[in-house]
Amino acid sequence: VQPLAARPPVLTIGIPAKADLKFFGDASMQAGFEAALASLETLGARLVEIPFGDFYATADLLYEGAW
């Protein structure tokens, strides 16, 4: 199978902006998330923060709806 395009030289991964992170008081979850990010960077990935507010708003509409 031939790829449609060449693989980019650096893997770029979108992650939630620090201001948008929610761990709900779970320190072990926060530590695991930070360790995963550090591992990805060690492997050469480029991490790009993206605003997550719209994703949370969509989740609220879906899961916190008026039903």
- What pLDDT is stored for residue 4 in this prediction? 84
CA–CA separation, 47 and 41 (whole Å): 7
Percentage, residues of the chain above pLDDT 70: 97
- What pLDDT is stored for residue 55 in this prediction? 92
Q: What residue ranges of the chain have pLDDT lower than 70?
A: 66-67
Q: Give the tens place of pLDDT for each residue, 6-24.
A: 888 899 999 999 999 999 9
Domain layout of the chain by residue ranges: 12-63
- What pLDDT is stored for residue 21 in this prediction? 94
CA–CA separation, 16 and 14 (whole Å): 7
Whole-model pTM over 0.85? no
DSSP 27: H
